[in-house]
Structures are given as structure tokens and as C-alpha cells.
Structure 1
């Protein structure tokens, strides 16, 4: 008996047909089970950063809490110039578009938004001078300026959002928001006011103290500023106890540097001897 083997043996082109069925695109309206995305080598994905919102302020308004202010400062890190704090109460019906953390904006964008915010919102500014920073330290001087800015608002707020970890000692409720200039719209507006105001002040100080380049680096510790400090010494606008300034002061004005007592050195004490005793080495002791 001769068996027909062709019935059990698959045709030569059968695997190709199965592969073609697997590779065939899904029917219209049905998504494939899996989706693979190929990323070009050497390129990273772009992370989108959401702009600050008015959500927290609007939640307070719905509860009947108004006015609501945001405050922020500019100039904690520089070696020279003041710390500038600003407080802003935005008008919910006239919020300028484009408000963002001042660090994410260009100088031209900040200048335009500065004018728009001042034209539509309640704004106040307070300044802590370098002498106050030297006396109180940079943190206390910043908090002092922030509180002064809140008190100086045309209308006393019932709630204040402040950028950072520290709450202000204000008569109204105060809420500290870490990274608030990128989260809360009122704080972002205050960051723009503080930044533009301080930049303008530093440009004015550049005319008073030429050679340091304040109009370019705004007092920050960039190489050009450090070179000028080493060459010219500190000016009256520098913060005396910031390390690079103190080093320049020791070099150019050593008489202004108070010696620091070394608490770990043991002083030598001389013990007076009233009488001397001679000992005969040949004596039997």
C-alpha cells in the first residue's frame, strides 16, 4: 500500500504564509497588541515642564479667602549687591499670559512681563542692603525683606505663599512652598518683579563702581567677577563675610581683618624657679 505523504507534509511556502499573516497590519480601527518605539542613538527624550498655575489661589478664593499674595526674593547667592524681595497680588480677571519662574525666562521676556504685572496687579518691593546681610546673615536678611514686602502691599493679604522652606512671621496665614516659583503663579510673578528690580539696581551700581562688571554678572561669583575682586579688592557693595570677598579683603585691606583666636593651641607657661640645687654626680644617692 502506498501512502500519500503530501497530506501530512507541509508545503515548502507554508512558513512564509504564516509569517506573512503575523506581519500583516491590524485591521482598521484595531490597535496592535504591542507598540515599539525606536529612539535614535545618542538622543534623549524631552521632558516637558508644566508652567506655574493659579490653582492654589483659586481654591482659596472659592473658600472666601482673598486677597492672596505670592512673594519671592532675588539675590541670595551673589557676592555683591542687595537682596530684593517682592510681593504680588494678581488680579484673577487680568492675569498676564506667559508668567513663569524668572529663571526660565529670558531678560527680554522678564522685562515685558514686569510691565504687565505692574499694570494689572498689586506689587511691592523691599531691599536688604549688604550691610544688613553682613550683620544678620543672608537667610535672616532675606526673610526680613520678604516680610517687609508683604507688609508694604497696598492691600493687606489674608494668605501668603512664599517660595522656599521658611514661613514668614506675618499677621495672615503663610504657606511655604518649596520650588514655589515654578508651581504657584503668584510666586512666579513675584520672582519676575524681584529679579528685574535687582538687575536694574546692579546696573546702577556698575556706574558707581566701574571695573567689576556688575552690569554683566549682577554680582554673582563668575570668573570675571573673581578676577576683578582679586585685582581691585572689595567695594562697599560687596558682602564682607562671603568667602571670596573675605579673601580679597585680607589681601587688599589686611588691617580690616580681625585675628581669629586659635582655641586649640596650648599656651606656653613659664614657671619661675626660686632657688637652684647643685647635685654632686660622685655622691652616692
Structure 2
């Protein structure tokens, strides 16, 4: 009997694991719940903006993801690994880095010293030399103490500090806060460039133009819950969303 040819196996291509997945996240302070079942997914290489009025839980969301605020319910996954309830340094080693609101530089350290400490994380494409190429003004002031830098330079320093950890996903909390319009444009260009290089970003931002320039997806947070999600194009096409939930137009 002649053997029948066997069919070639069909190759299955699994979807890539998202760098960051948040499911049903709830958290708060002192017994008061702030987040109520937040779901958020950051696809590989994408930028996700989290928008909302003041006091809606945006900073709490980032701090809960990083482990600064205890989780009441839900979970956080980094590259498919569950990190819910882990120590902050464990979450950081898993691949998350945060750029906090208000910059929070180490005032007694120089730019160079700050980056030397930050470079003790996992090796990768981001090095101090590359950062100085990316931020020439930091290179010119690398011997200066961090508290002697301008607000824009401090923002570049804390972004650089986070990038030296070669993050799986970068969390940015109000990077334009307190900066002059010209410096905000520079920070926006930096974030857009990071996005072009494939660094996944979660951006909490009041500056609407900066947020949608750097993002692929928009999530609106109100009273600790996601009330709208969509692509940037869908957000742009729905002016009512911005007016209703943010109190501003998009022009």
C-alpha cells in the first residue's frame, strides 16, 4: 500500500504578550477606595494616554501599578508576569519604570552621579552615553547638581533616569507640569521620539495636545473608573467626549 502524504503542520503565530496589562484594579488610601476596577492594556510598542480631570485617580493608577499604593483587588501583569502585591523594586526589575509628577530629582547628586546610579539596572540599548546624545543640554551640565538645573532639564534627567533601566514599559505622570510652553514642546518631542523607537508608554497628562501627539490609544478616567477607551483617531473624531469628560475642546 502506498503511503499517503501527510499535510504540513499549520504554524500558529501567537499574539505578542502585551508589555503591561491591568485587570480589575482597585486601590485607595486609608480605607478610602479611589480606583474601581480599572482595565488597561498597553500593546507592544504603543503609547496609551490616560486623561481625566483633576482628582479622578490618574496618579493613583500609576502609583498602584508600580506598587506604591496597595492593591485592593485586580492584578497587574508585566510581560505576562503577575506582579500584583510585589515589592516596588521587584516591579521595577520586572520592567516598569515611572517618571513621577514634580520631577523629584536627587538634589545633592550631579547629573552624572544620578545616571551612574540609575545605570545599575539591567543592561540594554539605553546607556549614559546614548542619553547624553539624546539630551545634549544634560551632557553640557553633567557636573552640575540636579537642583541647579532648569525645570525642563530636570524633566529630561528623570526621563533619562527611568530609561537607563531599559524599561518594558515607561509610566509618565504629568511630564509637562509646571513647564514653560517652549519646554513642553521639547518634552513632547522627546516622548514622540521614544514612541518611534518602540518604547511602550503610559502617559498621564493634562496637556491634551501633548497627550494625543504621543499616544495611539486614549483612556478617560472619571471617579476612579475608565469611562471611555478608543484610538486617538476615534478620540479626535468625537469632540463631545473631550467636552463631557475633560471640560475642554480639542482645538
TM-score after normalising by structure 1: 0.25
Structure with the greater alpha carbon radius of gyration:
1
Tell me: higher relative CO, structure 1 or 2? Use CA pairs within 8 A at least 6 residues apart: 2
Higher strand share: 2
TM-score after normalising by structure 2: 0.27
